[in-house]
Structure 1
Amino acid sequence: MRAIIKFIIALLVAGVSLISYWCNRQENEFTGESQHVDISVEQEIALGLQAAPEMASQYGGLHPDKQAAAEVKAIGQRLVANTNVSETPYKFDFHLLADENTVNAFALPGGQVFITAGLLRKLSSKGQLAGVLGHEIGHVVARHSAQQLAKAKLTQGLTGAAAIATYDPDNPASQTGAIAAAMIGKLVNMRYGREDELESDRLAVRLTGQAGYDPRAMIEVMRVLEEASGGARGPEFAQTHPNPGNRIAEIEQAIRQEYPEGLPKGLVQ
């Protein structure tokens, strides 16, 4: 009888999680895609602004080099002002972090974009910096964070249901099923993360070209990231970010699709 009750509760938890996920859909006006998200754009902006100080503090705060920080802001705002990103409700701001050792860039929901001094130091051109910032802008306008939040809620609900259904207090080994379910859920979310990265690469190709930067500079960025990784990576399926070497082929394909007659002249390298 206890097993039946647990099974019914597990079904209810799983059912509520699935219904909540599939019924919350919004059309992304920028990409034209229908997405599973359950927060508004205004909530995304508020979340990003709230989290920005804490995220900056994890990387040593903002960099004191005002000239370098101003260049990051200028290139970021050029990408926004000269593309249809300017028509979105997001409030973009671009920040240079003080961390000299970490090679990273990321965007919070709503438009707060960060790049570490460690990554900026490895870039050799404005075009490369534009490629990095354009990629992060792509995450924001494609609402990847909102999608990940919705997927995380679904995963938590389903793994919770699995834990309820499989756990037996008289048999500690039954916890293995819940652990396996949690691992599967994590791998599912990693797969979506890689797809988001590739979509952001494609969006960055479009945005950099429209803003007057050469999107081919993104290929050099991938080589920088590959070198920075030092080859110390596991199999690609176990990584949130796709292997930079594999992303190069996707970027080259995106450039050909965006500019079938060739890139215009005069682009900033």
Structure 2
Amino acid sequence: MRAVMKFIIAILIAAVSLVTYWCNRQENDFTGQMQHVDMTVEQEIALGLQTAPQMASQYGGLHPDEQARAQVSAIGQRLVQNTRVNETPYKFDFHLLADEKTVNAFALPGGQIFITAGLLRRLSSEAQLAGVLGHEIGHVVGRHSAQQLAKAKLTQGLTGAAAIATYDPDNPASRSGAVAAAMIGKLMNMRYGREDELESDRLAVRLTGEAGYDPRAMIEVMRILEEASGGASGPEFAQTHPNPGNRIAEIERAIQQEYPNGLPAGLVE
């Protein structure tokens, strides 16, 4: 009887998780794609603003060089003001973090975008910086954080249901079922993360070109990131980011699709 009740509870939890996920669908005004999200744009903006100070403090706060911070902000705003991003409701702010050792850039929901000094000092051109910031803008307008939160809730519900259905307090070996379910959920979210990264690369190609920057600079950014990471380690499915070599191929493909007749003259390199 206990086994039957556990199974029924697990089915109910899984069903609620699936119905909630599939019913929360919205069309992304920027990309035109239908997405599973369960928060509004206003909630994204509020969440990003609320989280920004805490995230900045983890990287030593903002960089003391006001000129460098202003440069990052100016290039970011050029990407916003000269593209369709300007028509979105997001409020973009671009921040240079003081951390000199960490090579990273990231976006919070709603338009708060950060790049570490450790990454900035490795870049050698304005177009490379534009490529990095364009990629992070892509995450925001792609609503990737909202998607990830919805998917995380779904996988949490499904793995929780699986754990309830398989766990037997009288059989310690059954714990392995719960562990396996949790690992499957983790790998699912990693896969979604890679897809988001590749979409942001494609969006960055479009945004940098429209703002007057040479999108080919993003290829060199990928090489810089690969060098900084010491090369890809382990199988790609177990990494939170796609292999840089695969991203280069995707960027080259996106450039060809955006500019089938060749890149226009006069782009900032």
Give the TM bin, normalised by the shorter chain.
Answer: over 0.9
Residue 50 of structure 1 aligns with which residue?
Answer: 50
Q: Deviations over 1:86-106 (max 9, x none)?
A: 000000000000000000000
The yes-or-no answer on 1:8 pairing with 2:8 is yes
Structure 1 stretches of 4+ moved >3 Å: none
The count of residues paired between Structure 1 and Structure 2 equals 269
Corresponding residue number in structure 1 for 2:218: 218
Give distance in 1, aligned partners of 2:114 and 2:121.
14
Instruction: Look up the equivalent residue of 1:265 and give its one-letter code.
Output: A
RMSD over aligned Cα atoms: 0.6
Could you tell which deviates more after superposition, 243-252 or 202-211?
A: 243-252
What aligned pairs does 1:1-269 form with structure 2 within 5 A after superposition?
Answer: 1-231=1-231, 233-269=233-269
Q: Which runs of 5+ in 1 are unaligned?
A: none
Q: Aligned to 1:161, what secondary structure does the other structure show?
A: helix
Q: Structure 1 vs Structure 2: percent identity of aligned residues?
A: 86
CA deviations over 1:200-252 (Å, ceiling 9, x no partner)? 00000000000000000000100100110112622111101001111101000
1:61 deviation in Å? Answer: 0.4
For the structure 1 residues 179 and 203, does the alpha-carbon distance in structure 2 shift closer, same or farther, using more than 3 Å as the test? Answer: same
- The two structures have a TM-score, normalised by structure 1, of 0.99
1:115-149 C-alpha deviation (Å, 9 max, x unpaired): 00000000000000000000000000000000000
Letter in 2 for 1:56: A
Looking at structure 2, the residues matched to 211 and 72 of structure 1 have their Cα atoms a distance apart, in angstroms, of: 15
Structure 2: distance between partners of 1:145 and 1:15: 24
Tell me how far apart the structure 1 counterparts of residues 216 and 168 of structure 2 sit (CA, whole Å): 56
Q: CA deviation at 1:19?
A: 0.2
Q: Distance in 1 between the 2:153 and 2:258 partners? A: 35
Residue aligned with 2:64, SS: coil
Q: For the Cα contact (< 8 Å) 2:232–2:243, is it kept in 1?
A: no
Take 2:231 and 2:116, find their aligned partners in 1: how far apart are those partners?
21
Normalising by structure 2, we get a TM-score of: 0.99
Distance 2:195 2:218 in 1: 17
Q: C-alpha distance in 2, partners of 1:230/1:179?
A: 31
SS at match of 1:60: coil
